[in-house]
Amino acid sequence: MLSTEPMQKVRIIALDRDMHGVVSALQAIGIIDLRKSRINIEDNKPSGHASELSELLIKFEGALRLLEKHEVKKQKHMELEKLINEARAESSVQRVYDLGNERQLIQEENALLDYSIDSSEKLKGTGINYDMVQSERFGYFAFYTDGKGYSQLSKKLKNAKDYSIETRKNDKHISGVIVYAKPGSISDVAKDAGVTEIDLHSRYMHGTAEETLLSSRKKRAQNDKRISEINKELHEISGAKYSYLASMTEMLDIELQKANVSGIFKKTDKTFLIEGWIAKKRYHELDRIVGEAAKGRFYIEHVSDDELAPTQINRPKFLQPFDYLMNFYSTPRSDEIDPTWIFIISFPIFYGLMVSDVGYGILSLIVVSLIIMKTDPDGLLNNVARIWRLTSIAIIFFGIFSNQYFGFQLNQYIGLGFLPTFNWLKNITTILVVTILLGIIQVVTGLAIGAANQHRHGHNKHALAKLASAGAIVLGAIAVSAIFFGQFNTTIGAATGVAAILLILATIGLSREEAPEITNLITHPLSYARIMGFGLGSVIIAMLIDQAFTPNLGMGIPLFIVYIIIFILLHFFNMVLGIFEGMVQGVRLNFVEFFSKFYTGGGIRFRPFNYKRVYTKE
């Protein structure tokens, strides 16, 4: 349970003529992570079809992006030559491109037309003639602004010479044209006043502003009509061709992947060589599949080298978000114990204790369900939310056993009064001891895993140092319990105390790397007391909210409604605070206090050579 999937590196040798069949079979089965061989023979080259397949795929993908999505009927995968020939001959792809390019050009033209219409609407009545602005003697500056900007402009123009200005007020804006004698310039003066310049040289601005309005609006209407015709034709092509084009695109992508992967193979005159990693338990399946594809003309063997095997983890789907979070932190190495199962078990316990309120658990389930529905299934937020959903069940569980329902104690009213419960206010010392014991158990477990990892790598002194540290924590805890709390007699306390000190010295002597961790043998188990601290804080805040803002009808309807709103909002904020702190502290206790005792990480994720078909079938 604490190990990743055992892996084996294999080497496959087969005839050149069987390459396409073998590669297709490997892609279909999807159980091998292909790697470039270190054998010093000639490298193979990507398939000769790779370049054309890439060009065709780009065209088909581009065409699909321009079409409306429709339901796709799965198509059987074609042979390579037939696929390429059909893709070359498919005329609808070029037609879609032509229509898409035409629409884009029209839309760009419409942007210019919209500018000329908007500008001319502002300058209408000013007497401007766009065809006269290219004068050698005079310069033209068109603008629009509000009343404050025009006041600033007027002040700035007082010092200017040889100019005239025509303005027009429209709603809250003032637009106008300033004509000035060259070689002077009004542009800098006007811009200093904060007015917005109108470009008089736009492509569709000709004649007067009124004439431009008529011509631009007419051209805009023609363009809109043509865009409507293009959209209609694209809609018709979508209905008739989307399913076929989507299937063809997927087949091209699959074949391109196969064509490119052959570039990492090795070759001789008549054979090719493949290497890669598979799960050991699937070796016989690989042997059978390759044998069928190569018609028995192949050789397969185990490869032994010092390359780190990729990490493959098989876990139930509902627990895979924990693997996502682990990979986000650092992928476990294939040659070390995988701590994820311990994380899966401990995190909900820590998190549930720190929030421990049935009402908050139910409310968080509702909130998190909405987040899961609205976010990308492959994104960080969605995966964190799915962990949150699982741990909300732990909140409800611990909330029942602490008898907390939005700060109220309700077990006795809902038929659960028979359950043994703990009280956050009355059992503080007990809860504190339990949380520290949880810390001791997890830290000692981490040290034991670290010892196993060190032994696996042949570092036996380091392994003994880890075990000595674990023993020091256990014996030290017994000594403290005996000497300060009277849980054991003084003889046991003295003996375990001395033994703990000796084990600490042994740790330092066996491994200098462990010496800096000595202080953590005390602080890390004690750090788990934060579970009690945050849990108690959440409960006390909930109780204070209940005491101050629990509504009752005796206070009158208006005040009753105000109190209900405040009551709900404060409990919601307390829930959010508890959930945030529970998440952060629960992750911290695992990633810092626990993982620091053994975890190396930095593994290589297993990436099988495969393709997830959506629109096609083999």
Select from 13, 480, 492, 94 the least CA-distant residue to 276. 13
The whole-angstrom separation of Cα 135 and Cα 385 is 67
Q: What is d(CA 476, CA 471) in angstroms, rounded to the nearest whole number?
A: 8
Q: If you ran DSSP here, which 8-state letter would residue 311 be given?
A: B
Tokens of 461: 């002194």
Q: On the CB side of 564, how many CA atoms lie within 13 Å of its CA?
A: 9
Mean pLDDT, each 10-residue run in order, the chain (618 residues): 86 93 93 92 86 94 92 90 93 93 95 94 88 84 87 83 83 85 80 85 90 94 96 94 94 93 91 95 94 93 90 90 88 90 92 93 92 89 91 94 92 89 90 92 93 88 90 90 81 89 86 73 89 92 91 86 92 91 90 90 92 90
So what's the pLDDT on residue 515? 67
pTM: 0.76
Beta strands in 52-172 (DSSP E): 75-76, 138-146, 163-170
SS3 50: helix
- Identify whether the C-beta of residue 590 lies closer than 8 Å to the C-beta of residue 344: no
Would you state the pLDDT for residue 361?
94
Copy the structure tokens of residue 263.
């570039």
**Rounded distance, CA 541 to CA 546, Å?**
9
Residue 198 bridge partners (DSSP): 142
DSSP string, 441-479: HHHHHHHHHHHHHHHHTT-HHHHHHHHHHHHHHHHHHHH
- Specify the amino acid at residue 372: I
Distance CA 591, CA 597 (A): 10
Give me the DSSP letters along 154-165: HHHHTT--SEEE
The contacts of residue 303 (CB under 8 Å, 6+ apart) are 9, 10, 11, 275
Exposure string of 459-475, with b = 16+ CB inside 10 Å and e = fewer, is: beebbbbbbbbbbbbbb
Whether the bond between 183 and the residue before it is cis, its omega within 30 degrees of 0, is yes
> Which residue(s) pair with 43 in the sheet?
266
Ordered structural domains, the chain, with CATH = 114-219 (3.30.70.2750), 315-419+529-602 (no CATH), 433-516 (no CATH)
Contact yes or no for 591/330 (Cβ under 8 A): no
Return the structure tokens found at 433.
């001891």
Q: What value, to the nearest 5°, has the Cα angle with vertex 198 and ends 196 and 200?
A: 160
Listed residue (208, 199, 174, 231) closest to 112, CA to CA: 199
| Residue 180 φ/ψ, nearest 5 degrees | -135, 155
Which two structure tokens, joined as six digits, stand for 413? 């009213």
Residue 292 corresponds to which tokens in the numbers above?
């069928």
Rounded Cα gap, residues 562 and 574, in angstroms: 18
Instruction: Provide the residue count of the chain.
Output: 618
Dihedral of CA atoms 278, 284, 285, 291 in degrees, nearest 10, equals: 110
206's tokens = 């000709």
